[in-house]
Amino acid sequence: MAQMNFLRNYSTSELCEIFENLNHWNWDERVGEKPCDWDDIPYTCHGMRKQRRTKHKVISPFLKHIKLIVGEKALLRYHNVQYLRSMSNNEFEEWYKSYAS
């Protein structure tokens, strides 16, 4: 995980945005140069050889490390309040209380 330490230079908001982009299979240049084969590799390896390179295998280390840095609550807040715009901050807090319990 030492090679992921550069992620700590980003704010929580930036990390949540990076996570959201990668989680939707959109490469984010803030994690490095886009792999030249990104557009051609499959998303996952369902029904394929397990050794084959997939988008999931490429982005998983980034997603895991970002989640360790900012936590699940920050990612869920960003997704619901900023990305989907389906909740206000107050609505999110109420929802999260029931989600976390």
Dihedral sign, Cα of residue 5, residue 9, residue 11, residue 17: negative
Q: For the segment 71-98, what is each residue's pLDDT rounded down to a tens digit?
A: 999 999 999 999 999 999 999 999 999 9
Residue with tokens 């901050």, as numbered in its chain: 89
pLDDT per residue, tens digit, the chain (101 aa), is: 558 999 999 999 999 999 999 999 999 999 999 999 999 999 988 765 666 889 999 999 999 999 999 999 999 999 999 999 999 999 999 999 999 88
Q: What pTM did the predictor assign?
A: 0.90
End-to-end CA distance of the chain: 31
* Contact of 80 with 60, CB cutoff 8 Å: no
- Both structure tokens of 92: 């999110």
* Contact of 16 with 62, CB cutoff 8 Å: no
